[in-house]
Amino acid sequence: MGKVYMIGSQKGGTAKTTTTFNLAYCLQKMGKKVLAVDFDSQANLTTCFGMEDTGVPDDTIGHLMMAEIEDMKLPSPKKYIRTKDGVDFIPSSIYLSVVDAKLRLEMGAEKMLSGILEPLREKYDYILLDTCPSLGTLTINALAAADEVIITVNPQLLAMMGMQDFLRTVVKIRKRINPKLGIAGILMTMCESRTKLCKVLTEEVTESFQEQIRVFDTKIPNTVKVGESIYYSLPVVQYSPKASAGVAYIFNDAVDLLAGAEEISAPEDGIRMLPIDSIRPFRKHPFRLYEGERLDDMVESIREHGILNPVIVWQVGDNYEMLAGHNRQLAGKLAGLTEIPAIVKTDLTEEEAYVYVIEINVIQRGFLPSEKAAVLAERYEKVSNQGKRNDILEEIAKLNGSDMPETCGHDVHRLKSRDAIGEEYGMTGRNIARYMRVQLLEESLKERLDDGTLPLVAAVDLSYLSDKEQKTVSGLAEQGKIKLDAKTVKCVRGMAGNVTEKHVLEALAGGKGKKGCREEHQAVGRCV
In a domain, 222, yes or no: yes
Residues 508-528 pLDDT 10s = 876 444 444 555 444 443 333
In a domain, 513, yes or no: yes
* Best CA proximity match to 424, nearest among 374, 388, 375, 381: 375
Q: How confident is the model at residue 428 (pLDDT cuts 50, 70, 90)?
A: low
Which of 327, 346, 364 is at the close of a domain?
A: 364
Q: Are 31 and 14 contained in the same domain? A: yes
- Find the farthest-apart pair of alpha carbons in the chain and give their distance in angstroms, rounded: 94
Strands (E), 87-134: 87-90, 126-131
Residues 332-374 pLDDT 10s = 999 999 999 888 888 888 877 877 776 666 555 556 677 767 7
Q: What pLDDT shows up at residue 30?
A: 81
In a domain, 146, yes or no: yes
Q: Are 127 and 50 contained in the same domain? A: yes
Q: Are 109 and 200 contained in the same domain? A: yes
Which of 364, 380, 413 is at the close of a domain?
A: 364
Q: Are 360 and 371 contained in the same domain? A: no
Q: What pLDDT shows up at residue 449?
A: 84
Give how many domains the chain has, as a whole number. Answer: 4
Q: Are 331 and 395 contained in the same domain? A: no
Q: Are 250 and 285 contained in the same domain? A: no
* Best CA proximity match to 50, nearest among 229, 232, 228: 232
Q: What pLDDT shows up at residue 191?
A: 76
Q: What pLDDT shows up at residue 443?
A: 86
For the chain, percent helix, then strand, then coil, each to nearest 5? 50, 15, 35
CB neighbours of residue 164 within 10 Å: 12
Distance CA 523, CA 528 (A): 14
> Do 152 and 16 contact (CB within 8 A), yes or no?
yes
Q: Are 411 and 500 contained in the same domain? A: no
More confident residue, 254 or 161: 161
**CATH number of domain containing 296:** 3.90.1530.30
**CATH number of domain containing 139:** 3.40.50.300
Q: What pLDDT shows up at residue 96?
A: 92
Q: Are 99 and 248 contained in the same domain? A: yes
Which of 321, 344, 364 is at the close of a domain?
A: 364
Q: Are 468 and 334 contained in the same domain? A: no
- Residue span of the structural domain in which 509 resides: 447-528
In a domain, 126, yes or no: yes
Q: What pLDDT shows up at residue 380?
A: 55
Q: How confident is the model at residue 251 (pLDDT cuts 50, 70, 90)?
A: very low
Q: Are 307 and 391 contained in the same domain? A: no
Q: Are 222 and 300 contained in the same domain? A: no
The torsion angles phi and psi of 148, rounded to 5 degrees, stand at -140, 155
Q: What is the DSSP letter of 249?
A: I
SS3 category, 360: helix
pTM score, whole prediction = 0.60
Q: Where are the alpha helices (DSSP H) in 30-107?
A: 44-48, 61-69, 77-80, 95-103
